[in-house]
Chain A
């Protein structure tokens, strides 16, 4: 539980951090350190250089910018979970933040760090996908990556090596009628065996449901066939249960000691249903 030798830098600005990253090709970015440090202690990660974003000011905030909810990448899980704005505008995200790890982890861990790490069982990805968010990325040139394009595989994202997430954005139009995140916690790690986030926008025949799962597959995914089946429908238990039969269709489910594929598929259906009913 002792990391291999590594260098450490604590830049004061994003620009300085980006310079360090382009200079040190194999450097790892550290935000809250809650994932990276554990991997380093296990020597599962042995980066020669750690670039700590903790001294950069101005990356920790929650604010409404017009029709967008903007969250600084270094905002901690605790800050997001307890933010009145997030609770009001995008409750699923606050619930996902609240569901992460334990108090110590929530006080240190950040939304940008968690998304960039892309753990298949992390809580945010489901909410981020269902809320149709995006990340603002600084690198050689600034760009925005939408949630749908962000998760590309097991611990893999659309981020390039010398890029840093600076902001997470959630669109608030069309208006969110309700959203929820529910999970089955792994009894040891606290990660999601399956986590489900649902977002309902609009009403009546214009009602749109977004439903995403984490913990179930190599990366979080949206259950688009369920979403289609629920479009414009009244979200009663029978309708939701029926739609949820397709929630794991075409998905290569994970298998581990906590859940084999069959059981995981059942959890996808059960927690998917709970999420939609809680959001609707």
Chain B
């Protein structure tokens, strides 16, 4: 493995200068001759019959080109499909029209669209559309929507649109033999992803050639092209999807949305390029949300802390429709991680996916895994509390030992590698665990509420082997792809099928390529996001890009080097077997001076004046990398807090994160990913919660009410790593994009509950707002201030 100078280097992200100086092109920056603008009218009711949609005034408004309702587009556009058809759970997918036709099922559902000369006129005209609703009963809470006899939201699909069961080991026997059984109800809050850039679509249709070009805020342009060809009823080959710069996604830009098909359709109908850009208020109701689980879980354990079994069920709120990946998130990505880092031997778990009158829920950073980690890591602390053992010790006693990998856990997945003791020990040492426990004892005597919380996590990512994707009902492959083209001058272009949008692979992949080919870093360009010039790939999510894309680049580089050896041998009049490639030079073994650089070889390959027999011209290679397994990053996070009993405010004192994502290509970028991830997870624990009232109106429908984390909310993060390479990946890397989010919510939850444990508190639901904590403290103190 040629891992040399650039691999591991702390290099600044190469795309940042253009991003932070306003030189980047986002979808809303795309300007085309004759461009017109769309504005969407959205349902103001969570559940209602559409009696009428009166567009007459809007049609007459100055500058308006057209107005469409659901009826106008129903024939031309197929329903928006769901693409994760999890098998064996009786999954039924309700049809999702691009524009609502006779019924609306959540506030924010698109009802009509106006196209006008500019976005101001479009918005003014949209205000003139009069929608007449006949309100229907509203179901917001998934547990209520799942009750027998609950009003059915879709005519042909029950509210519980799947029930997924996970069984491993002998749960009944485990509970019989348990010394300790603890039951707990958990509420995992609904979150709003809040990408910095809201969604946008710009579409241009050439009626002469029949070509459709779609600029769209997507994490996966090839999936968009695939799915949009179905909705638009067009050949895929006539559709070009471009994800220009995309300002964050966090999972919310995986799904194909109604507008993604609607806007191209309008361009096709009107013969004019059309743009739509979501505003933040629309974003809060029309872009997918995350999480929203209600779980009842029991744990069986021995009094020495040995975990025996989990048993329970989760109601996962899917919202009004099954979004693109929605069924897979609370099942495959969630249930299969219920063993955590532990040798627990039995599990019996059911997940009910429930339709409600709320915005659809889909992947949000971590997607199912933060929810699983939260359950497991809270349960471990409950066991510690009940048995009187130290939470760190309970974890140690149940860790999968490092010499047992690859290890198949009770849920059936096989972890590739791990050393859980190492990361835990490092984290405890960094925070000064024993010293803090002493400080805590003293503080408690003074009536102060200090707490320390731990989370030892493992996650499944690097999605994933395609045969597994097929087996779990994911309607696509999950390989990565790279096409590398070396120009005659020796400059390198790497076209990748994945679509990074802030994760930093334009930098890290250039590092990997430069190392492998022995060319200068600045000579390597990474190109992504355009289906016209990148090979088929499945996008950026699930912390997969570095692993599957990195694997593809590694393989494609290998192919170029093999070809280069043949050409170099021919030019040097040596046997191919005698050629060694090192640091960009093809040389004869033992005679390093007799060599040709990769640039020389590329020029000769391109000119093709003198190539060996059977060697084709050009220096281009394509590779599709389908990994043999997922990768399983892990780590230990620990934080300390102090809760002020007078105000219920939590001060984050210190936060230590020890992550193991295998080999680190660029520590600076990994730090950035970890910092961002921790921030999002802490925000779930402390700040964020999307709240609906009983009528399905969102009470936190703007940034005035919904608390997105700000820098001043966060402590300084102390980060470190252990390095346990993935044994099956050519670069030894694992993913790191979601680890922070997966670990930090449970970490701070455990710390706050530890702080309040002298009051007899063993569990509280998120978010741990000052108001909630203050009330809880009052109740426990049995009095009023």
CB < 8 Å neighbour of B280 from A1, A43, A269: A1
Q: Is the CB of B770 within 8 A of A184?
A: yes
Q: Is the CB of B279 within 8 A of A2?
A: yes
Complex alpha-carbon distance, A4 and B123, angstroms: 8
Classify the secondary structure of A's interface with B.
loop
Contact (A266, B124) CB under 8 Å given A1-B281, A2-B119, A188-B708:
no
CB < 8 Å neighbour of B769 from A4, A258, A262: A258
Within 8 A of B (CB), among A73-108: none
Contacts of A2 in B (CB 8 A): 119-120, 123, 279
Give the B interface residue count (CB, 8 A): 31
Task: Give how many A-B residue pairs fall within 8 Å (CB-CB).
Answer: 56
A205 at the interface (CB under 8 A from B): no
Interface size band for A: 20 to 34
Q: Is the CB of A257 within 8 A of B699?
A: yes
Within 8 A of A (CB), among B164-208: none
Q: Is the CB of A189 within 8 A of B775?
A: no
B704 at the interface (CB under 8 A from A): yes
Complex alpha-carbon distance, A259 and B120, angstroms: 37
Contacts of B124 in A (CB 8 A): 4-5
* Minimum Cβ distance to chain B for residue A274 (Å): 10
Complex alpha-carbon distance, A189 and B649, angstroms: 17
Complex alpha-carbon distance, A266 and B649, angstroms: 13
Which residue on chain A has the smallest CB distance to residue B703?
Answer: A188
Q: Is the CB of B691 within 8 A of A257?
A: yes
Digitize A242-280: 1 where CB-to-B-CB distance is under 8 Å, 0 elsewhere: 000000000000000111101100110110000000000
Digitize A170-202: 1 where CB-to-B-CB distance is under 8 Å, 0 elsewhere: 000000000000001011110000000000000
Complex alpha-carbon distance, A259 and B785, angstroms: 16
CB < 8 Å neighbour of B700 from A257, A262, A263: A257
CB < 8 Å neighbour of A266 from B119, B700, B774: B774
Most A CB contacts (10 A, CB to CB) among B127, B707, B713 go to B707
A42 at the interface (CB under 8 A from B): yes
CB < 8 Å neighbour of A263 from B127, B705, B706, B774: B774
Within 8 A of A (CB), among B263-301: 279-281
Contact (A260, B771) CB under 8 Å given A188-B703, A189-B704:
yes
Complex alpha-carbon distance, A263 and B784, angstroms: 11
Q: Is the CB of B713 within 8 A of A187?
A: yes
Contacts of A186 in B (CB 8 A): 707
Within 8 A of A (CB), among B707-751: 707-708, 713
Q: Is the CB of A263 within 8 A of B120?
A: no
Complex alpha-carbon distance, A269 and B647, angstroms: 10
Most A CB contacts (10 A, CB to CB) among B123, B647, B649, B686 go to B647
CB < 8 Å neighbour of B647 from A1, A43, A262, A270: A270
Complex alpha-carbon distance, A206 and B609, angstroms: 102
B687 at the interface (CB under 8 A from A): yes
B52 at the interface (CB under 8 A from A): no
* Minimum Cβ distance to chain A for residue B651 (Å): 13
Q: Is the CB of B281 within 8 A of A266?
A: no
B237 at the interface (CB under 8 A from A): no
* Minimum Cβ distance to chain A for residue B276 (Å): 13
CB < 8 Å neighbour of B281 from A4, A42, A258, A263: A42
* Minimum Cβ distance to chain B for residue A120 (Å): 13
B130 at the interface (CB under 8 A from A): no
Contacts of A262 in B (CB 8 A): 775
Contacts of B691 in A (CB 8 A): 257
B425 at the interface (CB under 8 A from A): no
CB < 8 Å neighbour of B687 from A187, A263, A267: A187
Contacts of B649 in A (CB 8 A): 184
Complex alpha-carbon distance, A189 and B706, angstroms: 8
Contact (A259, B707) CB under 8 Å given A1-B279, A266-B785, A270-B647:
no
Most B CB contacts (10 A, CB to CB) among A4, A5, A184, A257 go to A257
* Minimum Cβ distance to chain A for residue B646 (Å): 5
Contact (A258, B708) CB under 8 Å given A2-B279, A266-B785:
no
CB < 8 Å neighbour of B771 from A5, A43, A258: A258
Within 8 A of B (CB), among A21-77: 42-43
11 residue pairs A–B, Cβ–Cβ below 8 Å: A1-B279, A5-B124, A184-B649, A188-B700, A188-B703, A188-B707, A188-B708, A257-B705, A262-B775, A263-B771, A263-B774
